[in-house]
Structure 1
């Protein structure tokens, strides 16, 4: 990665993160001492689920939606969290308080099937219960991406069919996305634009993807994309505020001709796209519809976290 390369997770450097405490199965440990076993199923196989969340005004933004996604994914792969959402909230609160965190905080909550008795695949070899890790960082997105945006490159790696590895899982198995990211980097872009198995535009390697054409907001059908909480909120906000929005198949031709494009994700909220495959999109930065949606989303977060 060069100095000119950016990602949707670029954050301002915060020296407080050098001494954060990380939650590991009920204990808080300095980041340099926070460890899991090499026999852990997450390390061995990527067998686990995770959630990314934002702490704003002392509360977790859209907490119930994140928990709905997390517990649904765990149930689908027979992964017992060993607690309920109240228990997870208690662990999150414990970690935030120990670190003195209340605002502009990003959390990665990770649950694996736990430590195995032998380094092999079968889930029955995980017999000691799940491993729960919570990493929180003081994390504010860099200002330069809010207007300038990022560069995407369409890559050969696709978002696959649900019966191969369903993108609805926020799973630790991210190799598909890592390969896409590497392909984009090799093409001189910041992140990858991934197609679905039929060649329609789908997501990036890290975020969901939207375009604006003739005042309409378009995103994929949702059949192959990540089950994004921010994506769902953007669609909901568009419908509630008279912004035409469509979930549909669309091609690269239509994408190149868009007036605006932006990405959605828990960390960056709405990140504008400057160019795709060397073609400038609209003005090459945040357009009026992107700015309007960003303002609506920011207001929704305020309402949700201030109660």
Structure 2
């Protein structure tokens, strides 16, 4: 079961899907990694979440660019070419006969270690590459049902501590924030940056709407979100004033609308923040408009 923006429709076909582990297609119950794998042992790796529409991965080049940037930052050698990786993704989809309502978790770790130790010089294998594709349709209610968000104590860190723009397997700060949000009865947590400005949610990006303007954070303390960037571009292309700027929870409480963005669910409306109703507490006209523009963009990208 999943919650909030990651609520999905259960699909019995997932019982029989094949996952791609280092180029081999295996049943999901046999899709395992060694206990000495860097990802399992130390969270040493990067990942991408991909959506499949019309038989194609939406915004694939952007995802591959972000993956390459993460690998370069961690000095992980993928071991195969970008084209070969894309071919593995395509092969996984074709073998499973997947064309729509599919979510892929693409995971790359540094590989196997000879001993439980963080030093990358103990690596004894090529990188581990896992492509886990599932039939996973977002719960249709997510597009209309307002989320309840809670600001939490756990902050997004500075890049000299752990770069918040790195989509690494090490997500413990986001998990901690999520737990704090859950304990407060919320769907998801709002995380602030070190200066106290709104940064992002624990698993999605965050926007507010004020007097016809769309605001999101500067991006200095959040992942370089692909859906987030697409929404900013859509605003600019459709004469909607949009700003990437610093703002506080005070600005959120007085907003007309608020919403989150992410690869899985797209845009989801927000109804309350810290128990305060946002606007009239329902999906507002700006969110509804941007949802339609985003769906049209995905259709165009995957034709």
Q: What TM-score bracket applies, with the shorter chain setting the length?
A: over 0.9
Matched, 1:77 2:74: yes
User: C-alpha distance in 2, partners of 1:19/1:262?
Assistant: 35
User: C-alpha distance in 2, partners of 1:265/1:204?
Assistant: 10
Contact preservation (8 Å) 1:20, 1:30 = yes
User: C-alpha distance in 1, partners of 2:221/2:179?
Assistant: 21
Q: How many residues align?
A: 303
Instruction: Give the TM-score, by structure 1 length.
Output: 0.97
User: C-alpha distance in 1, partners of 2:102/2:55?
Assistant: 9
What SS does the aligned partner of 2:48 have? strand
Paired residue for 2:92?
95
Q: Spell out the pairing of 1:222-301 with structure 2 (5 A cutoff).
A: 222-301=219-298
Q: Spell out the pairing of 1:68-147 with structure 2 (5 A cutoff).
A: 68-147=65-144
Matched, 1:221 2:218: yes
User: C-alpha distance in 2, partners of 1:179/1:245?
Assistant: 30
What SS does the aligned partner of 1:148 have? coil
Deviation at 1:145, TM superposition (A): 1.6
What SS does the aligned partner of 1:271 have? strand
Deviation at 1:84, TM superposition (A): 2.2
Deviation at 1:285, TM superposition (A): 2.4
Paired residue for 2:42?
45
Which structure 1 segments of 5+ residues have no match?
none
Give every structure 1 segment of 4 or more consecutive aligned residues whose post-TM-superposition deviation is greater than 6 Å.
Answer: none
Paired residue for 2:168?
171
Which structure 2 segments of 5+ residues have no match?
none
Deviation at 1:148, TM superposition (A): 1.4
Q: Deviation string for 1:161-201 (max 9, x for gaps)?
A: 01111111110000000000000111111110100000001
What SS does the aligned partner of 1:124 have? helix
